[in-house]
Structure 1
Amino acid sequence: MTTELRVLKPAEWEAWYGRLELAFGGVRESTEERKLYNELTEMDRSIGVWDGDECVGTAGAFTFRMAVPGGALVPAAGVTMVSVAATHRRRGVLTSMMRRQLDDVRSWGEPVAVLTASEPVIYGRFGYGVGTYQMYAEIDTDRVTLAVPPGTDDVRLRFVEPEDVRDACEGVYARQVTGRPGMMARRPGWERLPLLDPESERHGASPLQCVVAERGDEIVGYARFHNKPEWELSGPKGTIILEDLEALDPASYAALWRFLFEIDLTSTLRVRNRPVDDAWQQFVSDIRRCNVRARDSLHVRLVELGAALEARTYQTPLDVVFDVEDAFCPWNEGRWRLTGDHKGASCKRTDDAPDLALSVRELAAAYLGGVSLTSLGAAGRVREVRAGALSEASIAFGSDVAPWLPHGF
């Protein structure tokens, strides 16, 4: 097979994106979705594999800044739109794109790459580890009640058109970013993503609705959702589908959740992507009737290991030597001494004896503080060379709040 891997040209986007749609089932996306993603696609950071005139592989990388423990915003390549034509599988197309892409990310000076995977089995061989999880829930609001904090009744709620308060809601979101690892500081244009609402994806639900929480003249929270009305002989049994919720204080947060629980003619609240430690779980009377489950979300790849580990802080003082395997990005191979605390960190090459031995995939999984090195050690994926080193490193790598990616890309 003779193929050519090259940077995407703007004139090739339709064929390139069409190949992506075909790889994901062949259903053409709505005009609104295509227009937005055409505008968001960074052509010079996107690649395609071509077999003659036919595109047979796609991959892109958005320019992001991602929050890490300690609150820093680290440059991160948001790997996206990855596909291989069914006719060209198992011929090295994906590997060639991953090789080119990680080399490019390194040349751009971005120490981390991240992605969301259609299938979690795909990317481990390229050094990605699952770094965040997302919560799903289907709450029986007829049976589950809420105990909300003092001050909840003082918050004013108001229906608004989502587009009318886009900038104010984006301001609320922006104020949350540095407080939770895994969140992305959205660049101009990305504020339109949460408002994307093609009718083809509503499946009988209403257009996107928005309620804001206010204190005085300031918007301090918002919830965006769909209402799917349903009826049976005994009465209404509608479903609220929560898309997006942020708030700046506990009372505003609680007021929004109470509102969602109490919407007339509904009996179910469906939650599709929330942090696994989301505080509404502390309000509810019966967590069992909330049907909570979790799945993988953000997969993390340390492209420049030293720079990535220096970019975050650590919960407790740490001095550890890692012996790292990284066959796909061999510049990360070898021994690294990481010293740090809650103020900062240094990670440099060393010839000292190792304390822990692991692959870059394990460090990537633990990077945002949501996956413990102790757990990985119990699975046989981290080997403790110096007694006590695993517990020390695991505690230091932790995060007070669960890392979370609020939206896909």
Structure 2
Amino acid sequence: MDEAAPPRTLADESRNGLARSREAAAVEIRTLAPEERHAARRVFRTAMLFLGPLPSAESAENTGGDAFAELDRRFGAFVDGELVGCVDSFASWLTVPGGRRVPHAAVSGVGVLATHTRRGLLTRLMRAQLEDAAGRGDVVATLRASEATIYERFGYGVATQVGRLEVTLARVRWRPTAPVGGPVRLVGPVDAWDLFARVHEEAAHQPGAVGRSSGWWNRRLRWVREAATAQLAVVHGEPGAEDGFALYEPVRTPDWHVDGNRAVHVTDFVAGTPAARAGLLRHLTGLDFVDRVEFLEMSLDDPLPAALTDARAVRLTRAEDETWLRLLDAQAALAARTYTGTGRVTVEVVDPLLAANSGVYEISAAGAGRVSTSGPADLRTGIAELGAVYLGGTRWWQLTAAGRVEARNPAAVATADTLFATAALPFAATGF
């Protein structure tokens, strides 16, 4: 005899009513119209708890602050006609090992209002964006994650890391063999904005570097104009032949003139040649009236400590994930980069969202491409794990040891690590 059903409570009725209302809600995922862009900024800032004042639509437009101004790439989630979620991106390039630049979607502005989470809206937004970017011919997508547990399920893996370096100037002594660099001169940070854009376009050639769109520069310029502290900038090289620049600002304190711990933050550091790097570093570490220089974003394997007689003058005070990378066209991405060593490995890739990427790829120093095999591939991986190792910043052995890559041929793990290795760690040096 069946047990009697427990009596329904008011809480049960409330939950059931909420479930029915969610099922009945009309959901639409689409690109945003021009007049909806300001509302999208409000949704994103509210979702991220950025509760400060938001510039008016007119103010943002006049100062170049309207996100990245590529409205056909901005998607919104509407529930019963109300905008409750959004995701944005801008067209860019990504430098891959070997120096090629591949078409790249730089993803930003991802958020869903707290009142509408846990309904699958983010999944629908991300899927729409991935399919759109792949359809445009973008080879990869990258983003900077506000939370580390969200984006792996959409195929993103941690491909690069970034560190914060603190230099104690009183301890800086350059080794006699350290490079000196060329001439460095001060420039107006606003007046030289076009110069910075040109230098970055020519100089950012390390694996992991991403292109900065005109919208990116416009928004950063607005930040500089509105900054509460003084903004300073230097460029390296003769006029017309500049190959590096640095932007920095003092960290003002009430007792700046008598403080024994005066700091300067380097907010942007771009060097296209060893000479540019050396000249800019010597300028920054030679500043008077300053006790510490903090480079807010530097590669974890930066050689600055090795160039000083006291390596402890430089401290890594923070390390965190930087680039989360997603392959949109695995065939094109694997074929675009170079590989090292004499080995050969086959990799089975599984991509639940973009099924065209799933398949077996053979990789060697001669190149990479999809193949047909009668037996199992040497390695089996998800698309997020392939994104993590793609630039060389994450190793195959690490993901295998973590249980995230299946090594059907254990010897293939070392072979894959050799093939994907890069001389230096990949590094983007551009936030968005």
Tell me, yes or no, whether TM beats 0.5: yes
Q: Give the alignment of 1:296-307 within 5 angstroms.
A: 296-307=321-332
User: Equivalents in 2 of 1:132, 1:379: separation in Å?
Assistant: 18
Q: Which amino acid aligns with 1:181?
A: P
Please name the residue that 1:145 is paired with: 173
Please name the residue that 2:223 is paired with: 197
Q: Which amino acid aligns with 2:34?
A: P
Please name the residue that 2:112 is paired with: 84
1:319 lines up with 2:344 in the alignment: yes
- Aligned with residue 212 of structure 2, among 175, 186, 193: 186
- Aligned with residue 228 of structure 1, among 251, 254, 272: 251
Deviations 1:357-385 (A, max 9, x none): 22111111000111111121122222221
User: Equivalents in 1 of 2:420, 2:401: separation in Å?
Assistant: 16
User: Equivalents in 2 of 1:123, 1:4: separation in Å?
Assistant: 22
Q: Which has the larger radius of gyration?
A: 2
User: Equivalents in 2 of 1:98, 1:381: separation in Å?
Assistant: 23
Pair 288,236 (structure 1): closer, same or farther in 2 beyond 3 Å: closer
Indicate conservation of the 8 Å contact 1:138/1:270, yes or no.
yes
Q: CA deviation at 1:161?
A: 0.5
User: Equivalents in 1 of 2:43, 2:303: separation in Å?
Assistant: 41
Please name the residue that 2:161 is paired with: 133
Q: Give the alignment of 1:255-334 within 5 angstroms.
A: 255-292=279-316, 293-334=318-359
Pair 232,75 (structure 1): closer, same or farther in 2 beyond 3 Å: closer
Indicate conservation of the 8 Å contact 1:132/1:405, yes or no.
yes
User: Equivalents in 1 of 2:364, 2:80: separation in Å?
Assistant: 52
User: Equivalents in 1 of 2:289, 2:74: separation in Å?
Assistant: 46
Query: Match of 1:404, SS?
Result: coil
Pair 142,364 (structure 1): closer, same or farther in 2 beyond 3 Å: same
- Aligned with residue 374 of structure 1, among 375, 391, 397: 397
Please name the residue that 2:189 is paired with: 162
1:73 lines up with 2:101 in the alignment: yes
Q: CA deviation at 1:142?
A: 2.5
Q: Which amino acid aligns with 2:138?
A: E
Query: Match of 1:164, SS?
Result: coil
Indicate conservation of the 8 Å contact 2:396/2:413, yes or no.
yes
Indicate conservation of the 8 Å contact 1:370/1:403, yes or no.
yes
User: Equivalents in 2 of 1:24, 1:103: separation in Å?
Assistant: 25
Please name the residue that 1:171 is paired with: 198
Indicate conservation of the 8 Å contact 2:244/2:270, yes or no.
yes
Q: Which amino acid aligns with 1:296?
A: D
Q: CA deviation at 1:216?
A: 7.2
Q: CA deviation at 1:234?
A: 6.0
Uncovered stretches (5+) of structure 1, i.e. residues with no partner: none
Please name the residue that 2:41 is paired with: 17
Q: Which amino acid aligns with 2:282?
A: R
Q: CA deviation at 1:262?
A: 2.3
User: Equivalents in 1 of 2:291, 2:314: separation in Å?
Assistant: 12
Between 384-393 and 126-135, the greater mean CA deviation after superposition: 384-393
User: Equivalents in 2 of 1:121, 1:373: separation in Å?
Assistant: 21
Q: CA deviation at 1:324?
A: 2.4
> Aligned-pair RMSD on alpha carbons?
2.5
Q: CA deviation at 1:11?
A: 0.7
Indicate conservation of the 8 Å contact 1:337/1:348, yes or no.
yes
Indicate conservation of the 8 Å contact 2:305/2:312, yes or no.
no
User: Equivalents in 1 of 2:252, 2:89: separation in Å?
Assistant: 39
> Aligned residues: percent identity?
32
Q: CA deviation at 1:271?
A: 1.4
Indicate conservation of the 8 Å contact 2:378/2:412, yes or no.
yes
- Aligned with residue 390 of structure 1, among 396, 404, 413: 413
User: Equivalents in 1 of 2:256, 2:247: separation in Å?
Assistant: 26
Uncovered stretches (5+) of structure 2, i.e. residues with no partner: 1-21
Q: CA deviation at 1:240?
A: 0.7
- TM-score if structure 2 supplies the norm length? 0.85
* Higher strand residue share: 1
Please name the residue that 2:130 is paired with: 102
Q: CA deviation at 1:92?
A: 0.8
Pair 171,394 (structure 1): closer, same or farther in 2 beyond 3 Å: same
User: Equivalents in 2 of 1:116, 1:190: separation in Å?
Assistant: 15
Indicate conservation of the 8 Å contact 1:209/1:225, yes or no.
yes
User: Equivalents in 1 of 2:224, 2:241: separation in Å?
Assistant: 30
